[in-house]
A and B are shown apart, each in its own frame.
Chain A
């Protein structure tokens, strides 16, 4: 499944990197501790988080994540969005809490 399909299926709002909607989503990782994500997320995962500050972009870039999904309708900070555009990292926003959106993504990727 790609980022674009995930966005459509789960009603996510794409905030950056529209040319990266074809990024293949291999899996997902949920967490707000950057060191944990840095250590455990895998290339091609979507990262589900409540963190909106700009350091999430470096983590996503270094880990080659498929995209970042912000939960609870959280908007990326202004400099986060600027970095996301610069580094071409897709940020998506969900109105659901982390638990629910993670469950839905899990089901979609399993089906």
Chain B
């Protein structure tokens, strides 16, 4: 007689990282951490690849525009969830900001090969689900979901 075993509660792995605005010296380190955590968790290559692109673009946006921000990573049994919030200028017109090629980046940022108006567009196209909201003079919030269950 087997006792009734309840399904164990889903255990989620959660991580949170601070990103410093304006500091291009460390830009990318959070994305590298995220990538190695996903690999350690044995997630499929394409999920790791998409998550790396998405988190890198979000990290570069914080560094380029905001005072500071936080990137959090949650790994559930079906998804990789990356949430980004920053304290920054916000985006007055999200639709315009999502257009490929639209950018408010400074000349200095563009010379480094950033600010080509591809970041948000890439984030959206490499996420399975993407949400963005923003408040001018407060900050921007992004939520990206990349599914891994059937991959």
Which listed residue (A39, A49, A54, A55) contacts B53, Cβ 8 A?
A: A39
Q: Are A36 and B56 touching (Cβ within 8 A)?
A: no
- Total contacting residues, chain B, CB less than 8 A: 23
Q: Are B25 and A62 touching (Cβ within 8 A)?
A: no
Q: Are A62 and B116 touching (Cβ within 8 A)?
A: no
Q: Complex formed: what's the CA distance from A89 to B1 in Å?
A: 58
Asked if A35 is at the interface (CB within 8 A of a chain B CB), the reply is yes
A-B contact count, CB below 8 Å? 61
Q: Are A38 and B57 touching (Cβ within 8 A)?
A: yes
Q: Are B122 and A58 touching (Cβ within 8 A)?
A: no
Known A54-B25, A55-B28, A59-B28: A34·B113 in contact at CB below 8 Å: yes
Category for how many chain A residues contact B: 20 to 34
Q: Are B35 and A34 touching (Cβ within 8 A)?
A: no
Q: Are A58 and B118 touching (Cβ within 8 A)?
A: no
Chain B, 1-43, contact with A by CB distance < 8 Å: what is the 0/1 string? 0000000000000000000000011011101100100000000
Interface of B toward A, CB cutoff 8 Å: 24-25, 27-29, 31-32, 35, 49, 52-53, 56-57, 60, 112-114, 116, 118-119, 122, 125-126
Interface of A toward B, CB cutoff 8 Å: 32-36, 38-39, 43, 49, 51, 53-55, 57-59, 61-63, 79
